[in-house]
A and B are shown apart, each in its own frame.
Chain A
Amino acid sequence: MKRLFPAPWLSLALWLLWLVLNLSVSPGNLLLGALLGFLAPLMMAPLRPLPIRIRRPGVILRLLLLVGRDVIVSNLQVAWGVLTCGSRPPRSCFIKIPLDLRDPNGLAALSMITTVVPGTIWSELALDRSILLLHVFDLDDEAQFIEHFKTTYERPLMEIFE
């Protein structure tokens, strides 16, 4: 079973994705989706993805909502920054954030969050995963930003992945 389905969650997600994309649960589509869910993880196995355990669904949901809110707020801030950049140039800079999260899957999720939020860009991760270099579009208060970053994104990710 483990050899046939090395990543059961990925298989399930691909199967559901196929059905939702086709908007049908006809036997043919059920079969094609199942085939996709079966073959894709087998072809990805040589990449040696790290096994993932889904824990704390409540925390995942809360994190998604918080990220959604931050994306909207950051969208408005960047849009305002673009419109007013003639009179007040945005205070862009790099900041170093000390990380406590070490799990590779968790860090991948963190990099997704930081790039999806328009105001921040993941720039570099130290080899020992202890420091993150982040580019911020308009930085107001560095200490406050790091505090927000660690409590809103990093701590829930540690609860989910570690």
Chain B
Amino acid sequence: MMPIWMEIVVGVLLVLSSLFALIGALGLLRMKDFFQRMHPPALASTLGAWCVALASIIYFSVLKSGPVLHGWLIPILLSITVPVTTVLLARTALFRKRMAGDDVPAEVSSRR
């Protein structure tokens, strides 16, 4: 049986995580340009995912009265895979905006 304070801790973590995911989605809606819009979704994949993982670790560790630690693999695998798509999107947007002559910095590589 789970003590009541443990249930509160798990509940708070889950609410916090959904709050961060919600703010991330709200940011996607409210930000003005593409690059600004790339920042808020990271809230869901970092603190949002961390809080869920921590909540699941605490919940199942208490339930099975032994450490159940593999929830931590989710944040680790996320932090390996998310940068791939993020960097790809940023590079593509930069390329397209330069082609279109928008207000973005010029290439940082000096021509040889």
Show 10 residue pairs from A and B whose CB-CB distance is below 8 angstroms, ordered by the A residue.
Answer: A17-B73, A72-B47, A82-B23, A82-B26, A83-B26, A89-B32, A92-B39, A117-B42, A121-B87, A133-B105
Task: Name the interface residues of A8-40: CB closer than 8 Å to any CB of B.
Answer: 17, 20-21, 23
> Which residues of chain B are near A92, meaning CB under 8 Å?
33, 35-36, 39
Contacts A90-B36, A123-B94, A127-B109 aside, 18 further interface pairs with beta carbons under 8 A come to A17-B73, A20-B73, A72-B47, A75-B43, A82-B24, A85-B30, A89-B32, A92-B35, A92-B36, A94-B105, A111-B87, A112-B83, A116-B46, A118-B42, A121-B38, A124-B90, A128-B109, A128-B110
Instruction: State the total of A-B contacts with C-beta under 8 angstroms.
Output: 108
Query: CB within 8 Å of A: which residues of B?
Result: 20, 23-24, 26-27, 30-33, 35-36, 38-40, 42-43, 46-47, 68-70, 73, 79-80, 82-83, 86-87, 90-91, 94, 104-105, 107-110
* A41 part of interface (Cβ distance < 8 Å): no
**CA–CA, A94 to B32, complex, Å?**
15
Alpha-carbon distance between A117 and B80 when the two chains are bound, in angstroms: 13
Provide the main secondary structure of the chain B interface: helix
| A-side interface residues, number (CB < 8 Å) | 39
Residue among B26, B27, B33, B70 facing the most chain A CB atoms (10 A cut-off): B27
Q: Which of A20, A71, A115, A137 gathers most chain B CB within 10 Å?
A: A115
Mostly helix, strand, loop or mixed at chain A's interface?
Answer: mixed
Q: Among the listed B83, B104, B107, which residue makes an inter-chain contact with A94, where contact means beta carbons less than 8 Å apart?
A: B104
A116 to B83, Cβ gap below 8 A? yes
Contact B108 A124 (CB under 8 A): yes
- Measured between beta carbons, the chain B residues less than 8 angstroms from A106 are none
Does A122 interact with chain B (Cβ within 8 Å)?
A: yes
